[in-house]
Structure 1
Amino acid sequence: MNRRPILSIAAPIALLGLSAGAAGAQQGATLPTTADTAGAFADTARAPDPTASVTSATCDGDVEYCPSGAQLRVDRSFSGYPIDSRAADAGSGLRPIDDEPCIPDEGCERRDAAGVRHFLYGDGADDLRVMIKTVEASEFEGRPIGALDIGTARDQSEVMARVRRFLPDVAFDCDPSLVSGNVGPVECGATLNPGWVEIGFDHDGRLLRVRFDGYQFI
């Protein structure tokens, strides 16, 4: 099955806190800021190693998006609309958050019935695909978060304990030198394959948002 090229992740482009170079690469595109949806991280972020191996029963050599087992588990925990799937296939399951039009090469957000935000991007209106999933903790007040099996946890220690139980073979760290600013002033993150996860907290250790990037696409 042929897919459009997935660009190299060897040199992530900073799209949040736009640098001059990144702004040029996006030609002034305005991306949503509520969920910090962008196609790449700053150099300090946890982008995956482009030389890392990818293993999955679904990989047959012809599929360019070839997620690891851990990534598939993360993907399913956020929503039933997989990374790299066509938005058109979701039908009315992904609803506009606002009334803004979706400009394919700038991207837009859609929300599912549970409230999970899905950032869509593509080569054209018929090729919009799910690229990023984000959970805003403020939109899940009083109810559990399915992503990463966070449930009703909101304090950093409990959130990370649950996340590490959900993904025991994935190394999460909360190194303050690796804060990208995408999800909060305090961040914990992990590299998947070929994507990555970031979990953001405020300075008091309260959960702000959880973000899952499927792969480098800008």
Structure 2
Amino acid sequence: MTIHRKAAASALAIAALLISAVGAHGKPAIADPLVRADTSFSRFALNQVTDPKVIGRLVNEQDCTETAIDCEWQDSAGVRHIIFGEAVAIKIINAAEVGNRDIAALNIGTARARPEVMARVRAFLPEIAIDCLEPGQAGEGDGISSCGGSFKPDGWIKLLFGPDNRLTFVRIDAFQGN
């Protein structure tokens, strides 16, 4: 092999390593799948103390002076944040509220049909086993299917699809609540 070929082969190997370390949007990939998933929803990290007023507007309660699990704070991208104690515990996206806009969470983008959404989510989180339950098995209501997976040591994601097999909700939880 000539010096030029060796240099080219080395350059290609370095490029391949760089590409594998970079996510879909040209940002460095985050190794920990829970952190990667969490960050894809919003900058307000799960399990971190956060002043809910910094997140955005209160969307579902009149009085949230005492941080309550029933209070949802929505950021400018439409992600609802639920605080437990003083830390972010749950993040939810209602696909109807977002409409056709890009959903950064789990790299969903503009996909809404279940096969495309699940292909994107599985590609974004290849380390996580994601299983789906069909309507009648999911326990989410008539015609609703559910797909989800768990992170180690804690945390999980859930995606709900309506009777038309289109995305309705995306959710990430910091821990399993009782």
**Normalised-by-shorter TM-score class:** 0.7 to 0.9
Distance 2:133 2:39 in 1: 27
Distance 1:203 1:144 in 2: 22
Distance 1:116 1:106 in 2: 16
1:16 corresponds to:
none
Q: Is the 8 A contact 2:56 2:74 kept in 1?
A: yes
| More helix per residue | 2
| 1:175, distance to aligned residue in structure 2 (A) | 2.8
The yes-or-no answer on 1:78 pairing with 2:41 is yes
Match of 1:213 among 157, 173, 178: 173
| 1:216, distance to aligned residue in structure 2 (A) | 2.8
| 1:105, distance to aligned residue in structure 2 (A) | 4.8
1:97 corresponds to:
59
| TM value normalised by structure 2 | 0.73
2:157 corresponds to:
197
Q: Which runs of 5+ in 1 are unaligned?
A: 1-67, 123-127
Q: What per-residue deviation string (whole Å, max 9, x for no partner) do you get for residues 147-191 of structure 1?
A: 100000000000001001101121111133762429x81101111
> Which structure has the higher relative contact order (CA within 8 Å, separation 6+)?
1
| TM value normalised by structure 1 | 0.60
The residue type paired with residue 143 of structure 1 is R
The yes-or-no answer on 1:135 pairing with 2:135 is no
Larger radius of gyration: 2
Q: Is the 8 A contact 2:73 2:82 kept in 1?
A: yes
Q: What per-residue deviation string (whole Å, max 9, x for no partner) do you get for residues 35-90 of structure 1?
A: xxxxxxxxxxxxxxxxxxxxxxxxxxxxxxxxx911111100000000012222x6
1:161 corresponds to:
119
Aligned 1:23-172 pairs, distance under 5 A: 69-88=32-51, 91-98=53-60, 100-102=62-64, 103-122=66-85, 128-172=86-130
Q: Is the 8 A contact 1:95 1:110 kept in 2?
A: yes
Q: Is the 8 A contact 1:134 1:211 kept in 2?
A: yes
The residue type paired with residue 210 of structure 1 is V
Distance 2:103 2:117 in 1: 10
| 1:131, distance to aligned residue in structure 2 (A) | 0.3
Q: Secondary structure at the match of 1:158?
A: helix
Q: What per-residue deviation string (whole Å, max 9, x for no partner) do you get for residues 118-155 of structure 1?
A: 01121xxxxx2210000100111121001100000000
Percent identity, please.
Answer: 39
Q: Which runs of 5+ in 2 are unaligned?
A: 1-30
| More strand per residue | 2
Q: Is the 8 A contact 1:145 1:152 kept in 2?
A: yes
Q: Is the 8 A contact 1:108 1:121 kept in 2?
A: no
| 1:98, distance to aligned residue in structure 2 (A) | 4.2
Q: Are residues 98 and 175 of structure 1, via their aligned partners in 2, closer, same or farther at CA, if it must alter by over 3 Å? A: closer
CA RMSD in angstroms comes to 2.2
Distance 1:147 1:141 in 2: 14
Q: Is the 8 A contact 1:197 1:211 kept in 2?
A: yes
Q: Is the 8 A contact 1:132 1:212 kept in 2?
A: yes
Distance 1:200 1:151 in 2: 16
Distance 1:76 1:211 in 2: 13
